[in-house]
Structure 1
Amino acid sequence: MSAYEEAVLEMKNIDSLLSQGYDIAHVYENLSGMFVELKKDEERENVQLLTADARKYLSIKLREQAADN
Structure 2
Amino acid sequence: MTQISASSRFPISRVHYFINGTFIGSSAKDPWQLSFLPEDFESALSLSNELTAVVYDIFQNKGQNSMKFTVTD
**Structure whose residues are more often helix by fraction:** 1
Q: TM (normalized to structure 1)? A: 0.38
The structure having more radius of gyration, on CA atoms, is 2
**Structure whose residues are more often strand by fraction:** 2
Q: TM (normalized to structure 2)? A: 0.37
Report which structure shows greater RCO (CA 8 Å, sep ≥6): 2
